Amino acid sequence: MGGLRDELLIQDILRLKRDKSVYIIAHYYQREEIQALADFVGDSYAMAIAAKNSPHDIILVAGVDFMAETAAVLCPDKIVLTPEPEATCPMASNISVNDVLCYKKKYPESIVVCYVNTPAEVKAVSDICCTSSNAAKILQKLPDNAKVFFIPDQYLGSYLAGKLGRHIDVFSASCPTHASISEEHLLQLKEQFPDAKVLVHPECYPEIVALADYVGSTKGILDYATQSESKIFIIGTECGILYSLGNNNPDKTFILASEELICPNMKSITLDKVFYSLQYLQTRVVVPEEIRAKAAIALERMIEYAS
Ligand code: 13P
Ligand code: SF4
């Protein structure tokens, strides 16, 4: 964390948050100073539920665009703010409405399952949404013979197909941050730390997932490490999670599977931007009502199937 300037900024942020009754929801990949001042920190699914249950009418989402959009879609009567509208997710930006409509035209009976890492307009043409924490549960509830198109993460899609033993058509996008883990380096780390459990996000390459003791969402990784008897872990997801892992487990050691596990978009949200966002109640996330209403169907269906 920074020095005196940051400390004063944090005090100002906490004052503005209180005076304007703003609920701050952050993702585990946020800078630690942002996680520390948030009212709620969670994975994508927990963030969506936290937005729905927000005790205040103004929500600031410290996360990438699809996270803020999800809150705006689920909470039409609330004001949703993003401190950095340019904080995008390259995986989510890689799929378009046309990609889905082309597939649907070819296979009109198919079910389109969209990962939450998608723009709202893509959710609006999908049948059901999911996150990494509930994707398997949701897919298991779909008819066995249904033709499923999973978008946009090819690695999460193929991981789910293998885990559930069913064919799933997948789109071809992926996460550049999780792609930084190399099999060679992970094998070296496993050799160097033979007692370490390997915990990875399903956005990783299949050869990385194959070497893991646990595969799950950011919250899943945190829960696994917290409940485990093991004292040392190799972590295959973005570095921001080390803050919550360390807070929950001060007696355990966490080693990142790659030094490049940094999502620049997540890290583009800073204390200064949060301060500005609260001060001017900017930038408001607005999803056109026609798209919002349709995207809400896919998201509400996710919540129904996941619970
Ligand atoms: P989680 O839902 O597991 O937090 O993942 C979000 C994400 O963007 C992973 O890269
Ligand atoms: Fe998107 Fe990857 Fe960043 Fe997650 S870590 S927000 S999938 S770019």
pLDDT in tens, 245-272: 999 999 999 999 999 999 999 999 999 9
- Amino acid 30 reads Q
State whether the beta carbon of 265 lies less than 6 angstroms from ligand 2. Answer: yes
CATH C-level class of 92-174+291-306: alpha beta
**Rounded CA gap, 261 and 181, in Å?**
8
Q: Is the CB of 90 under 6 A from ligand 2?
A: yes
- Give the Cα separation of 209 and 236 in Å (integer): 9
Specify the pLDDT at position 179.
98
Q: What is the mean pLDDT of the chain?
A: 98
pLDDT at 59 over 60: yes
The DSSP result for the chain, as a single string, is ---HHHHHHHHHHHHHHHHTTEEEEEETTS-HHHHHH-SEEE-HHHHHHHHHT-SSSEEEEES-HHHHHHHHHH-TTSEEE-S-TT---HHHHT--HHHHHHHHHH-TT-EEEEESSS-HHHHHTSSEEE-TTTHHHHHHTS-TT--EEEESBHHHHHHHHHHHTS--EE--B--TTGGG--HHHHHHHHHH-TTPEEEE-TTS-HHHHTT-SEE--HHHHHHHHHH-S-SEEEEES-TTHHHHHHHH-TTSEEEES-TT---HHHHT--HHHHHHHHHHT-PBP---HHHHHHHHHHHHHHHHHH-
Q: Is 91 in the pocket of ligand 2 (CB under 6 A)?
A: yes
67-77 average pLDDT score: 98
pTM score > 0.75 for this model? yes
pLDDT for the residue numbered 1:
53
**Spatial contact of 241 and 221, defined as CB atoms under 8 Å apart:** yes
263 CB less than 6 Å from ligand 2?
A: yes
CA dist., res. 205 & res. 70, Å (int):
26
Check pLDDT > 90 for residue 57: yes
Ligand 2 in contact with 266 (CB < 6 A)? yes
Task: Report the nearest-CA residue for atom 6 of ligand 1.
Answer: 44
Ligand 2, residue 203: give the atom nearest the CA: 7
Phi then psi for residue 207, to 5 deg, are -70, -25
User: The CATH number of 178-256 is which of 3.40.190.10, 3.30.470.20, 3.10.105.10, 3.40.50.10800?
Assistant: 3.40.50.10800
- Report the separation in Å between the CA atom of 190 and the middle of ligand 1, taken as the mean of its atom positions: 24
Q: In CATH, what is the architecture of 2-89+266-286?
A: 3-Layer(aba) Sandwich (3.40)
Q: What is the pLDDT of residues 124-174, one digit of tens each?
A: 999 999 999 999 999 999 999 999 999 999 999 999 999 999 999 999 999
Is any ligand 1 atom within 6 A of the Cβ of residue 175? yes
**Whole-number pLDDT of residue 2:** 72
pLDDT at 79 over 70: yes
CA atoms within 13 A on the CB side of 186: 27
Q: Which atom of ligand 1 is the closest one to the Cα of 263?
A: 10
Q: Is the CB of 180 under 6 A from ligand 2?
A: no
pLDDT of residue 254: 98
pLDDT digits (tens, 9 = 90+) for 197-252: 999 999 999 999 999 999 999 999 999 999 999 999 999 999 999 999 999 999 99
Report the Cα–Cα distance between both ends of the chain, in Å, rounded.
Answer: 37
Tokens of 63: 């996360």
Cβ pair 28, 201 in contact under 8 A:
no
Looking at residue 292, what is its pLDDT? 98
Domain-by-domain residue ranges, the chain? Answer: 2-89+266-286, 92-174+291-306, 178-256
Distance 218 CA to ligand 2 centre (A): 12
- Domain 92-174+291-306 and domain 178-256, same fold? Reply is yes
Model confidence pLDDT, tens digit, residues 37-56? 999 999 999 999 999 999 99
The ligand 2 atom at the shortest distance from the C-alpha of residue 64 is: 6
Residue from 29, 40, 155 whose mutation best tests the ligand 1 pocket (most atoms within 8 A of CB): 29
